[in-house]
Structure 1
Amino acid sequence: MTKSGNADNNEILLSTDTDEMEILVFTIKNQVFGVNVLQVREILMPSPVDKIPHGHPSVEGVYMPRDTLITVVNLADYLGIYLDSEERSLFIVADVNKLNAAFRVNNVLGIERISINNIEKSEASYGRAGVMTGIIRVNGKLISLIDFAKIVEDIAP
């Protein structure tokens, strides 16, 4: 599944004078997270990953779909969430800080448009400083907003 939209939606997303943004909402275990859709390139079914030596502990390895080398980050591990290896997963692929990264998550729930004025700052960061940018309530669910760029900066400084 690839992110797409019409020109009007893209203009709203790129406009700096709007107080709205769109987030991709996903789950890890029973926790709900969101990331700015501007950080997301596509969503892929998981593929076998080749291990790499001496990498960050949360980096599973690399794989190469369509002749593009992508680093796979186990997001549950990075955030300190215990996850059974048997659980269903997807890759959210992002191109941040000149690194193609696939973040392993359990499920993608969809895209939500939110007002940035409704984002609450949070002191919690899942053990990683600056990774969580805030919390927002959407349709009765608390969504922890995370920054893929900050994670990539941490795993590949």
Structure 2
Amino acid sequence: MSKLMSSIDQRTQLVGENRLELLMFKLGSRHTFALNVFKVREVITVPTLNQLPGSHTNLKGVINYRGKSIPVIDLRSSIKMNPLNEVYDVANVIITEYNRSVQGFLIGQIMNIVNTSWSDIQPPPTNAGKNHYLTAITHLENDGITELVEIIDVEKVLSEIVDYDTSISEEALDDSVTQHMSGRKVLVVDDSSTARRQIRDTLTQLGLEIIEEKNGKRALNLLRQWADEGKDVTEEILMMFTDAEMPEMDGYRLTAEVRGDARMSSLFIALNTSLSGSFNEAMVEKVGCNRFISKFQPDLLVDVVQERMRELLKQQEK
């Protein structure tokens, strides 16, 4: 297992090239699931689980991981699969980092790691409804057989265990700026419906209107459509928040495409992601984002919008 995961650090160079690597695994059924390797710290065999009486039903217990106690979540039950009649034949824990927190996910057999392109990753089918736990799907070759791989919406899984507070502290608000926001529009681009909802529930408190898109390709098509119609993109929207990892086109490529189009190159763009902060700060500079913030921090979302509004007000005064 250590050999399988040993080169993850070297693989981070794929981010920003519209590529990713998927860690594929089973949950005790014929289905194959995946997580982005970039979110994975380590894969370990199941250690001793310390039970927490009264905890969420999806929480299997707490383990000691590198000197710290972290929760272990039953991924199968979290995505509403039928309970197993018996334990996994092979059980592992994926240690992940999402939204500035570390947690483990109890899974079954680890399959392999696959290098692929975001252009080959597709959103879930529209007939999947709203209650699924997928951000994307893809089809990959395995021993000459093409199989469906389902990429799990971890942010949705976590949001059902940990309550996310979308309230804004009074200290974060600048009334001299927020009074100008009512009716302004912000484009939010994220493949997770949970992440989009968190931003929407935060920013609508300021009177802002939210336009949502599920991935970078859809967002870019919308922006180009406005530009083709002769609209000033920076007049249509105050700014854009974009996730980094998304099907078809990631946030880095989206930003680079926007910066390369003179009709929209001055659009204010904030990268809002659960990925590693130090790495993203370098990527923000490379592709030309205006700000980087890690999910989910309501006051920081407000700070970014206020920064953009101040900038716009100064431009109007000239």
TM-score of the superposed pair, with normalisation by structure 1:
0.85
Q: Which amino acid aligns with 1:85?
A: E
Render the CA deviation track for 1:119-154: whole Å, top value 9, x for unaligned.
2221437945xx311110000110001132332233
Q: Which amino acid aligns with 1:147?
A: D
- Percentage of pairs with the same residue: 22
Q: Is the 8 A contact 1:90 1:106 kept in 2?
A: yes
Higher helix content, 1 or 2:
2
Deviation (angstroms), 1:50: 1.2
Deviation (angstroms), 1:51: 1.3
Moved over 4 A (4+): none
Deviation (angstroms), 1:76: 0.8
1:63 to 2:63 alignment: yes
Q: How many residues align?
A: 152
- 2:53 aligned counterpart, secondary structure: coil
- 1:77 aligned counterpart, secondary structure: helix
Q: Relative to structure 1, is the Cα distance of residues 6 and 104 closer, same or farther in structure 2, using a 3 angstrom cutoff?
A: closer
1:24 to 2:11 alignment: no
Q: Is the 8 A contact 1:80 1:127 kept in 2?
A: no
The match for 1:146 is: 152
Point out the more displaced range, 117-126 or 141-150.
117-126
Higher Cα radius of gyration: 2
CA distance in 1, matches of 2:135, 2:121: 9
Higher strand content, 1 or 2:
1
Q: Is the 8 A contact 2:8 2:38 kept in 1?
A: no
Q: Relative to structure 1, is the Cα distance of residues 108 and 56 closer, same or farther in structure 2, using a 3 angstrom cutoff?
A: same
Q: Which amino acid aligns with 2:161?
A: I
1:43-82 equivalences in 2 (<5 Å): 43-81=43-81, 82=83
Q: Relative to structure 1, is the Cα distance of residues 66 and 6 closer, same or farther in structure 2, using a 3 angstrom cutoff?
A: closer
CA distance in 2, matches of 1:6, 1:65: 19
Q: Is the 8 A contact 1:97 1:152 kept in 2?
A: no
Q: Which amino acid aligns with 2:79?
A: L
Q: Relative to structure 1, is the Cα distance of residues 45 and 65 closer, same or farther in structure 2, using a 3 angstrom cutoff?
A: same
Deviation (angstroms), 1:41: 0.5
Question: Can you give the 5+ residue segments of structure 2 that lack an aligned partner in the other structure?
Answer: 164-318
Structure number with higher relative contact order (C-alpha < 8 Å, ≥ 6 residues apart): 1
Q: Which amino acid aligns with 1:23?
A: L
Question: Can you give the 5+ residue segments of structure 1 that lack an aligned partner in the other structure?
Answer: none
TM-score of the superposed pair, with normalisation by structure 2:
0.44
- 2:57 aligned counterpart, secondary structure: coil
CA distance in 2, matches of 1:150, 1:60: 18
Q: Which amino acid aligns with 2:99?
A: N
Render the CA deviation track for 1:92-115: whole Å, top value 9, x for unaligned.
111222332111111111111122
Render the CA deviation track for 1:72-94: whole Å, top value 9, x for unaligned.
10111111222233322100111
Q: Is the 8 A contact 1:24 1:35 kept in 2?
A: yes
